[in-house]
A and B are shown apart, each in its own frame.
Chain A
Amino acid sequence: MKKTLICAVLVLAMAASAFGASFKIGGTGPLTGGAAIYGNAAKNGAELAVEEINAMDGTVKFEIRYEDDTHDAEKAVNAYNALKDWGMQISLGSVTSKPAEATAAENFADRIFALTPSASSAAVTEGKDNVFQMCFVDPNQGTASAQYIASKGLAKKVAVIWKNDDVYSKGVYDTFMENAPKQGLEVVSDTAFADGNDTDFSVQLTDAQTKGAELVFLPMYYQPASLILAQAQAMGYAPKWFGIDGMDGILTMEGFDKSLAEGVMLLTPFNADATDAKTKSFVAKYQEKFGEVPNQFAADGYDCVYAYKEALELAKATPDMSAEEICAKMIEQFTTMTFNGVTGENVKWAANGEVSKDPKGMVIKNGAYVGLD
C-alpha cells in the first residue's frame, strides 16, 4: 500500500515536471458551513475548467487549489495565507462577499492578481487595481432590476423584502431604493428580516398585500425566497415576483413544489437551459462529473479560469514568472480584452475591476427558465 502510494506520488511529480510547470491558481470559499452550496459550486466549476484546459494542448496549464473559509473573513485570510505559502501566482479571490472583502485587501497588498467568481459587493474591488469580478456588482443589480421593472411596465406599486444582515441583499436593496423612484416606481412596502427570524414572513407579506403592491422584489438568496413563495400562496396573495441572481437554484431544491415559482422573474447572468453550444457542453460535463445541474456560481467559477487562460495567452505569460510580474500583465489584459463565456458574451472589465455584462431577464414557466425578452 505504502509502496504504491509512493509510486503514485512519484509518477504524479514526474508528470507535472514533464508537462513543464503550470500556473498555480488558488481561491477560498465556503466548502463547509451554511454557505457551502456556493463555495462548492464555484470550486467545482473552476476545477472542471482546469481539467478541460489541461487536457487541451495549449501553452497554458493550471494547477488549482481551493481552501475552505466557511464564509468567515478571518478564516479566509488564513486560507489565503496557506495558498500563498503553497506558491499561488494568481488568485480566484473568495466566493462570498464578506470573506472576499478581507482577502481582496491581502491580494492588493501582496500584488497577487485576483478575479473573484461571485463576490459581488462593491467593496471587494473598490480602490484595488488588481482585484476584478466575474459577476456583476450588487449596485448594478439593484439599478438593473428597477430599470427592468419600469421599462417592461411590470408594476407601479412595488414591495421590497430584504435581508438586513447580509451585504449582498443590502447592496442591491440600497441601489434599488435609490433608482426605483427615478424610474417612476412607488415603493409602498419596505420590510426586512435577518438570520434567526427568517422563517415567518406573514408580517412582511401582509404589509405588501394591504398596501396594494403589484410586484414584490426579493433581493435575496433562494432559500428564504422559497419560504416566502409558499407562505404567500397559503395566504392567497399572488403578486408578481421579481428576484435577482441569488434566486437561481430555487428550481433545483430537492422536494420544492415548482408550481410555487411559476411566473417568478429574475435577472441572472447564467441560464443552464440555454441552447448555445458552450453552455450545453458545460452543463453536460458538469452534470456528468458532479451529478447536479450547475448554478450561476459554478458558471462563474468556470468562466474565471477560462478568462485567465485567455489573458495569460494574450500576455504570453509563463509559469516561471513571479506573482507580481503576472499581476502587472493581468491588469493590462483584463482592462483591454473582451471575453466570451457561459455567463455572458462580449464581457469587458472597467479599470476599477467591475465587469460589464447584460443581466438576462428570465421567467419561470412550467418549472423551467425562459428568457423574458
Chain B
Amino acid sequence: MIFLNFFISGISLGSIYAIIALGYTMVYGIAKMLNFAHGDVIMVGAYVCFYAVSRYGMNPFVGVVLAMAVCTSLGIVIERFAYKPLRQAPSLAVLITAIGMSYFLQNTALLLWSSNPKVFPSIIGRGSFKLFEGKLSVSHVTVLTIATCVIIMIVLSLFISKTKLGKAMRACSEDKGAAQLMGINVNATISLTFAIGSGLAAIAGALLCSAYPTLMPTTGSLPGIKAFTAAVFGGIGSIPGAFLGGLMLGVIEIFAKAYISSQLSDAVVFGVLIVVLLVKPSGLLGKQLQEKV
C-alpha cells in the first residue's frame, strides 16, 4: 500500500512537471528555441492568479482566465522585444537572451511583489479522494492537473495536425525559409506559438501553486528546469512525449527518494536521463530526423 501511495505522489508531482513541459516542448517544437523564461512566465501567472483570488476575492477560475490573458500578452511582448530581433541570429544568442529574460522577470517580480513568500490559495481546495477505506488518497489537485494535461495535450495535437495555422506551424518547424516562400507568415506563426505557450504557462502556474502552495519570485525557475528535463526525457518537440516524460520523471524522483536515498534523488533522476539519452538520443517519443547533406 505504501508503494501505491508513493506511486500516486509520483504521479501528482509528475503531472505538474508534465503541464510545464507541454509549454516547453510546444515552443521548442515549432520555434526550435529553448525558452528558459517559461518557468518565470509560470511564476507571473501564479502571482496574477494569487492577487486576483486573495486580494480581490475573484472566483479562482476567473483568476486563472485573467492570468492566462496577462501571460499571453506578456509572452507576445517578450517575443516581440527580446526574441524577434534575433530571428536570424545564431541559436546560442537566442538561448542567452532567454536566460537573461528569465532573470529579468525574476528580478522584476522581486521589485513588484517582494521576496516574502506567499501562500497560494488552492483553486479547488485541498481535499482528496479516499480509496480502499482511506488507505490511499489522491488529491483533487492531482486529478485536475492530469485531466487538464490530457485535455491540453489532445487539443494541442489536434490544433497542430488539423488546422491551417497548425499546418503553418509544422511548416515553420521543418524549414523556415521554404515556409516563407510558400506564403506563410513565419513571424506571425512563431509569435502565435509563444502566445499559446505563455497561456499554457498561466494554467501550469495556477496548478503548480495549488499543489505546492508557496509562491516566491523564484517559484517557477527550478520546476521549470525539471520540466525542461522532462521534455527532453520524453523527446523534446513531441507533445505526448512531454506528458509521458513529466509523469515518469515525477515517479522516478519519488521512488528514488523512497527506496534509494532522499539525499540522492536528483542524482538518480538525472542518471536515468543520461541513460535514456545514451540509448535513445532523441528521447522516449522523439522523432529521429535525418539531416540532409
In the assembled complex, 30 residue pairs joining A and B whose CB atoms fall closer than 8 Å, in A order, are A33-B115, A34-B218, A36-B110, A36-B115, A194-B266, A196-B222, A196-B226, A197-B257, A199-B13, A200-B9, A200-B13, A200-B212, A200-B253, A202-B6, A203-B9, A203-B254, A203-B258, A206-B6, A206-B258, A207-B258, A223-B216, A226-B117, A227-B212, A253-B116, A253-B214, A254-B116, A254-B118, A254-B119, A255-B120, A257-B119
| Residue picked from B116, B211, B217, B225, most chain A C-beta under 10 Å | B116
Query: A32 contacts which chain B residues (CB < 8 A)?
Result: 107, 110, 115
Question: Known contacts A197-B253, A197-B265, A203-B257; is A227 also within 8 Å of B213 by CB?
Answer: yes
In order of increasing CB-CB distance, the 3 nearest A-B pairs are: A255-B119, A36-B115, A202-B9
User: Is the pair A197, B110 in contact by a Cβ cutoff of 8 Å?
Assistant: no
**A193 CA to B12 CA, complexed, in Å:** 18
B173 within 8 A of A: no
B279 within 8 A of A: no
B60 within 8 A of A: no
User: Is the pair A253, B119 in contact by a Cβ cutoff of 8 Å?
Assistant: yes
Query: B92 contacts which chain A residues (CB < 8 A)?
Result: none
A268 within 8 A of B: no
What are the interface flags for A191-218 relative to B under an 8 Å C-beta threshold, 1 for contact and 0 otherwise? 1111111111011101100100000000
User: Is the pair B119, A226 in contact by a Cβ cutoff of 8 Å?
Assistant: yes
Query: A33 contacts which chain B residues (CB < 8 A)?
Result: 107, 110, 115, 218
**A255 CA to B12 CA, complexed, in Å:** 23
B166 within 8 A of A: no
Count residues on chain B whose CB falls below 8 Å from chain A CBs.
42
**A196 CA to B212 CA, complexed, in Å:** 13
Nearest chain A residue, comparing its CB with the CB of B214: A223
What are the interface flags for B2-40 relative to A under an 8 Å C-beta threshold, 1 for contact and 0 otherwise? 100110010011001000000000000000000000000
User: Is the pair A203, B262 in contact by a Cβ cutoff of 8 Å?
Assistant: yes
Question: Known contacts A33-B110, A37-B116, A192-B263; is A234 also within 8 Å of B254 by CB?
Answer: no
User: Is the pair B119, A191 in contact by a Cβ cutoff of 8 Å?
Assistant: no
Residues of A in contact with B (beta carbons under 8 Å apart) = 32-37, 40, 164, 191-200, 202-204, 206-207, 210, 223, 226-227, 230, 234-235, 252-257, 292
**A252 CA to B116 CA, complexed, in Å:** 9
Residues of B in contact with A (beta carbons under 8 Å apart) = 2, 5-6, 9, 12-13, 16, 50, 54, 107, 110, 114-121, 126, 128, 137, 139, 211-214, 216-218, 222-223, 225-226, 253-254, 257-258, 262-263, 265-266
Nearest chain A residue, comparing its CB with the CB of B116: A37
**A15 CA to B223 CA, complexed, in Å:** 52
**A33 CA to B107 CA, complexed, in Å:** 7
**A237 CA to B48 CA, complexed, in Å:** 33
**A26 CA to B119 CA, complexed, in Å:** 34
**A164 CA to B139 CA, complexed, in Å:** 28
Query: A192 contacts which chain B residues (CB < 8 A)?
Result: 262-263
User: Is the pair A226, B214 in contact by a Cβ cutoff of 8 Å?
Assistant: yes
Nearest chain A residue, comparing its CB with the CB of B50: A255
Query: A255 contacts which chain B residues (CB < 8 A)?
Result: 50, 54, 118-121
User: Is the pair A234, B126 in contact by a Cβ cutoff of 8 Å?
Assistant: yes
**A227 CA to B214 CA, complexed, in Å:** 7
